[in-house]
Amino acid sequence: MKRITINDIAKELNVTPSTVSRALSGNTRVSIKTRELVANKAKELGYQQNVIAASLRKGRSDTIGMVVPRINRHFFSNVISGVEEILNPAGYTLLIVQSGENFIKEQKAIGMLMANHVGGIIISLSVQTKTYDHINGVVKRGIPLVQFDRVNPDIESSKILNDNFTGAYLATKHLIKSGYQRIGHLAGTRSLKAYEERYRGFVKAIEEEGRNVEDCLVYENTITREAGYNSIKKAYAHNSRPDAVFCAGDYAALGVLDGLKELGVSVPEEFGVVGFANEPFSELIHPTLSTVEQNAFEMGTRVATAMIKNLEGKHWEKEEVIPTRLIVRNSSWKK
């Protein structure tokens, strides 16, 4: 089928294309009656607006691009919900792309969004991202940018973060108070600020007790279920192993629980586990998983608010921190 244009609508109604264009954009120079006629005819013919062309005419787009590592993570899906809760009523549409934790995909996503002239870009960086020319390119083009959760602190933009340090500190303190002696950490990529802050919170809690952080008990780049499983199996193959772990993510914690079950290790009597994110499965598995709540929906609303302020020309480069809280369940509390 042929694509319907404003010229087709104009021909049907015997008016000029410019009149149709003004009517579709809600221009008050066109009478209400004519606007209604144009809207009805456009619907009848199946007209779809060329969003990019309209954006170029207006000088800005009502579409906001959002790049996330994984849409199927509870945290990111809740952030997206919070963003839409604010952006949609304000007249903006959200275009979501996932990087799949892949740097090349993230680069291409940013390039695609800029090529489509989006009004602004929201991003949480992939674990592979070590260079930032593509993000700096957004800033240089004058496109409003909001970073959230995983951010580069050196890039000038709005930044919405979790209090990762406090969440990790409270989780580790809890394991200490529960009586565990050798506490390990399944860490994320420490080149990302979020995971570095979780590591620092873990270290602070350990050192406050007059203990030393044992490097052999810190497992780098361990945020997936498979990585968590492999790490605990390797740990139990050596004499130098922890009796509890604070995990930088719930999926790593789930992998640890899988491995401990295979090994016949009792949780929490012999081993304690705390995760981070409060994924839905954390309260459904056995034992239920202690974890850190990130308040993702609230983060999403703050992200959207920051974007709107930028779109309004207020250059909102403020850094906001969303509080976290520890949820204690059965995986870490010795009765």
Whether the predicted pLDDT of 256 surpasses 80:
yes
Contact indicator for 235, 273 with CB cutoff of 8 Å: no
Q: What is the pLDDT of residue 326?
A: 98
Rounded CA-CA distance 273/229 in Å is 13
Question: Would 334 be classed as within a structural domain?
Answer: no
Q: What is the pLDDT of residue 316?
A: 64
The answer on 238 and 186 residing in a single domain is yes
Q: What is the pLDDT of residue 52?
A: 55
The answer on 247 and 173 residing in a single domain is yes
The answer on 172 and 242 residing in a single domain is yes
Question: Would 218 be classed as within a structural domain?
Answer: yes
Whether the predicted pLDDT of 266 surpasses 90:
yes
Whether the predicted pLDDT of 142 surpasses 80:
yes
Q: What is the pLDDT of residue 312?
A: 87
Least Cα distance to 183 among 231, 243, 120 occurs for 243
Indicate the SS3 state at residue 131: coil
Q: What is the pLDDT of residue 27?
A: 79
Q: What is the pLDDT of residue 315?
A: 66
CATH (domain of 245): 3.40.50.2300
pLDDT band at 23 (very low <50, low <70, confident <90, very high): confident
The answer on 188 and 79 residing in a single domain is no
Least Cα distance to 198 among 182, 186, 210, 208 occurs for 186
How is residue 199 written in tokens?
């590591």
* pTM of the predicted model over 0.85: no
pLDDT band at 51 (very low <50, low <70, confident <90, very high): low
Average pLDDT for 32-58? 77
The answer on 184 and 39 residing in a single domain is no
The answer on 300 and 206 residing in a single domain is no
The answer on 205 and 132 residing in a single domain is no
Better-predicted residue by pLDDT, 54 or 28 = 28
Q: What is the pLDDT of residue 59?
A: 53
Mean pLDDT, all residues of the chain: 92
The answer on 286 and 253 residing in a single domain is yes
Average pLDDT for 83-98? 94
Question: Would 1 be classed as within a structural domain?
Answer: no
Task: Name the strands in the sheet holding 319-322, side by side, starting at the edge strand that comes first in the sequence.
Answer: 93-98, 63-68, 120-123, 145-148, 158-162, 319-322
The answer on 185 and 67 residing in a single domain is no
Whether the predicted pLDDT of 252 surpasses 70:
yes
Average pLDDT for 144-165? 95
Q: What is the pLDDT of residue 60?
A: 60
Answer left, alpha or beta for residue 164, where phi above 0 means left and psi between -120 and 50 means alpha. Answer: alpha
The percentage of the chain sitting over the pLDDT mark of 90, rounded to a whole number, equals 76
The answer on 74 and 39 residing in a single domain is no
Question: Would 42 be classed as within a structural domain?
Answer: yes
Number of domains in the chain: 3
Tally DSSP H helices, then E strands, for the chain.
12, 12
The answer on 155 and 299 residing in a single domain is yes
The answer on 94 and 152 residing in a single domain is yes
Question: Would 133 be classed as within a structural domain?
Answer: yes
Question: Would 40 be classed as within a structural domain?
Answer: yes
Q: What is the pLDDT of residue 5?
A: 86
Question: Would 145 be classed as within a structural domain?
Answer: yes
Q: What is the pLDDT of residue 58?
A: 55
pLDDT band at 335 (very low <50, low <70, confident <90, very high): low
Q: What confidence tens digit (pLDDT) does each residue in 28-42 have?
A: 888 898 989 999 988
pLDDT band at 2 (very low <50, low <70, confident <90, very high): low
**What domain range includes position 155?**
61-161+295-322
Question: Would 240 be classed as within a structural domain?
Answer: yes
